[in-house]
Amino acid sequence: MFYREAGDFSTTYAEDQQTFPIKFDRYRYYVVLFIAIVVVPFFINDYWANSLLLPFLIYAIAALGLNILVGYCGQVSLGTGGFMAVGAYSCYKFMTGVDIWWGGELLFRLPEFNIFFSVIMGGLMTALVGVLFGLPSLRIKGFYLAVATLAAQFFLVWLFNRVSWFYNYSASGQINAPERDLFGVLITGPSTEPWATYLFCLFFTIVCAVIARNMTRGSAGRKWMAIRDMDIAAEIIGVNPLRAKLTAFMVSSFFVGISGALFFAVYLGAVEVGEAFGIQKSFLVLFMIIIGGLGSIFGSFAGAAFLVLLPVALKVVGVDWFGWPTDIVAHLNLVIVGGLIIVFLIAEPHGIAQLWRVAKEKLRLWPFPH
Amino acid sequence: MRRCRRLRRGWLRNERATRGCADAPPALPQLCQLADGRARCEVADELYWKDEGRGGVKDTVDSYVTADGRTIGPVVMEMKNITLRFGGVEAIKDISFDIREGEIRAIIGPNGAGKSSMLNVISGFYVPQEGEVWYKGSRRPAMKPFQVAQQGIARTFQNIALFEGMSVLDNVMTGRLTHMKTGLFAQSLWKGKAEAEEVENREVAEKIIDFLEIQAIRKTPVARLPYGLKKRVELARALAAEPSILLLDEPMAGMNVEEKEDMSRFILDVNDEFGTTIALIEHDMGVVMDLSDRVVVMDYGKKIGDGTPEEVRNNQDVIDAYLGVAHD
Amino acid sequence: MNEQLAFTIEVFANGLMAGVLYALVALGFVLIYKASGIFNYAQGVMALFAAMTLVGIQNGQVPFAHLINAIFGTDVHKFGWSVHSFAAILLTVIVMIALAWAVQRFVFRHLVGQEPIILFMATIGLAYFLEGVADLMWGSELKALNVCASEGNCLPQGMNVWLEGTTYEALGYGFFIDNLDIVASIVAAILVIGLVMFAQYTKQGRAMRAVADDHQAALSVGVSLNFIWVLVWSLAGFVALVAGIMWGAKSGVQFSLSLIALKALPVLMLGGFTSIPGAIVGGLIIGVGEKLFEFLIGAPYLGGATENWFAYMLALLFLVFRPQGLFGEKIIERV
């Protein structure tokens, strides 16, 4: 009733394979885009940007990336935090001008990149590192691989902690995003406007989502899914497994790197690697895609929204309404997240995305039972 | 005394009720079961299977026309002295045979004879310790399975190996992957090259879907399909690759009579319409004898017979392998 | 005797001791994996949970005191008694058995037949859940764990002194190994032998191995899957308790305790998920390897703290060349 597809006919294969084959979906998508791009920037304030919208957009990118690797290609990775760190530190280096040393002397220094390209470079460098750590995936499978990616997590965090070149030899060992602008509008630094940072992140989120969708509906996505569902059969029907896995690692790490760069440069502004990109971050993003839905673009968004909202909501209810101490609320948060993961895996292994699909089915028939 | 069963129905084009099977010679009972009817069982001696459909082959012949009007071409694939070992176990012992263009070649043998291993050697999944595979006139170098697939060899699996998380259409489209070449970047843009290629390949896939009569389940997730349909989807996926050799590993295992008939019809139609060369493993002798042009018989990793169905049927080694002989 | 060499040997010995503890945690993993195919990420948190429960019971803390206080505005913290260590350990074992039952009943019974990777993720969820519960129950501050009622009456204190003295006399260099490490390795060794005996020679052990081999077949000969799984989780809980006591006594009971579980992962990758001797040998290799690497290469050349990642890198490289692990058989893939 509210949701109908009758009368929607695809007359070409191209139409049949578009992202939203159903008109209703398509219009709703346009409305959401319109609100996000045109309406929200006028109403946004610091609180909304910093505690909800920015983290949501940035985690959504990371979740998209991880979902490509785990949900579509079936290669479980626990290294997301480490890869986000690569994105953040590369972005920082390119923002401040990469200095190349040889034998104790400064060989040359790249010019400082614009923030936009710094973020892109963050993604590209992470893609490179991701491919490197993806190489063992040809030989190592299942949770052996999951554990192997922990090597990336711990090694990368250690690297950014110990090698002072990465944080430009600052005494604190932190990296701080200097003030940078795009078309004269400040994007990073302490005195940014919420609408500017919001739009900047929104742009990357939309582009990443579109790319992810395009890749997963075409031959690349089918290769990944074939590897996920049955790797041996996939190889025998002509999928080069190493290549498929490496492209998945590459695209996934690219997204994760971009999200790491944004997380550092736009959202936090200053970062200490162990704190911001530790193993907990890896799990957080993994939980997002489990709760949201493995192998679903929409699920990545849903999961990110859910896990960004949950602590905020708990804090509002627990601390602000009931006046509980914050540490108890934090512990409750752990219990709830852990419990939810289990509940979702038991009741709905396909996550919120599947709930949404079922709801659509129901809506389509409503108010009639059949 | 062993009894020979009546054939339930003919497999292929015409009904062939078997008569007189009960009187069949006790020495060759299973042959009776295999008999494709008429009054053959009445003849008690050997060689009562006059070849009806498919002519006998001489190795020297370059190409020939079968009785039912199909042209069988020259040798397209040749296995030369293949030996495959797993640790100390010899799964295949020094086997040679060839596959001709356009023919239906069957590999039969008791369980554990090494048939599936043979198919795996052809599709590059196992690398034999000794022997050579010749394909289209040249020796095939050591290859990964996906490279073999890219050379135009597609296969189905004994235990269905479909991609359960994808729809039927997507599964069939995976068969087209060897034909799709757009790079990642073009795909991320979608509009233009990637979309055009997608549509083009979709058309081929749809043709196969039509051919195998699975239009109605096009968008159903594969995991929801019953066994028989899954087998058909798997065939569709293999066909979508437009292979020059199609390998079928027990295409009719676990099927009921009607499904078997359907599958047999599809196999023959594929061979007729696309001229695809088919190598198949099957346990149902009726099917094998009816479908295939030539048969290789394996037992304990060795080749014990090779030739037209009726040659094989009368081969003493084959008979021994299937019925067992007294070892003293 | 060469000073550097002596140091190296000492580091080696300390690595062995650390390795024993890794092996102990790894053993918990192997037990559960063998019997149910579940890769239990929560093993480390179980150790934390066990250690915290033990401390809480010993000190007579009121469970969920903070939460109760927050909700009802009360001010309860302690019952005002303290429990003898032995009784506390017994009580903790009971709690761990109850936990095992609850985990089996409420989580994994509903996940039978799921893919291993789903089960693995469920255990990550379980880890979060348990960690939250443990914090809520006992508070998240660092606690000292003291198994002995009064200092020094149950750990044989003279051992390290004796060792140092003897080696000094014999070799001209006194090796120092912590008392606790010595006790830990002895306990771990006893535990390992006990578990192997249990698995090999008792009826339940045989049933456990049967379940590990084939669920269906085990069911069909009348083994109760539920019982075996609860048993296995209880055993794993017990192993976790022992590991928690050892580790907690060494460095206090706090969140980082659960991270030792992460260290056990590369141990498992080296040794293979199903092999008890593999877990032990893998644990020793990792323990010794990371201490030696840190001592010889990490600290002097790489800026230290290489222990954070060395084990994973070692396991990663090792697996690339031998995907089946140390003791695994060569994998023949089939279609």
- Which residue in the set C332, C333, C335 is minimally distant from B157, CB to CB? C335
Question: To 10 degrees, what angle do helices C116-138 and A279-292 make?
Answer: 120
Residue A212 has pLDDT above 90, yes or no: yes
| The token pair that represents A310 in the structure block | 């949950």
Q: Tell me whether residue B191 is exposed, middle or buried, using C-beta atoms within 10 angstroms of its C-beta: 0 to 12, 13 to 18, 19 or more.
A: exposed
pLDDT tens digit string along A315-334? 888 777 877 777 788 888 88
Tell me the backbone φ, ψ of residue C331, rounded to 5 degrees.
-85, 120
Confidence of residue B279 (pLDDT cuts 50, 70, 90): very high
Tell me the range of A84-98, B175-189, C75-89, C107-121 where mean pLDDT is highest: A84-98
Confidence of residue B163 (pLDDT cuts 50, 70, 90): very high
A partners (3+ CB pairs within 8 A) are B, C
Give the list of residues 6+ apart from residue A146 with CB closer than 8 angstroms, or none.
A76, A77, A78, C117, C120
Query: What is the percent of chain B where pLDDT is above 70?
Result: 79
3-class DSSP state of A149: helix
**Which positions in chain A touch C306 (Cβ < 8 Å)?**
158
Contact of A215 with chain B, judged by CB distance below 8 Å, is answered with yes
Q: What is the mean pLDDT of residues B133-155?
A: 90
Tell me the range of C2-11, C244-253, C276-285 where mean pLDDT is highest: C276-285
pLDDT tens digit string along B83-141? 999 888 889 999 999 998 889 999 998 888 889 899 999 999 999 999 999 988 888 89
Q: Is the ipTM of this complex over 0.90?
A: no
Kindly report the pTM of this predicted structure. Answer: 0.85
Cβ distance of A222 and B166 shorter than 8 Å: yes
Contact of C173 with chain A, judged by CB distance below 8 Å, is answered with no
Cβ distance of A239 and B174 shorter than 8 Å: yes
**Which positions in chain C touch A339 (Cβ < 8 Å)?**
125, 129
**Which positions in chain B touch C332 (Cβ < 8 Å)?**
86
- Which residue in the set C124, C269, C323 is minimally distant from A139, CB to CB? C323
Query: What is the percent of chain C where pLDDT is above 70?
Result: 86
- Residues A146/C300, Cβ–Cβ less than 8 Å: no
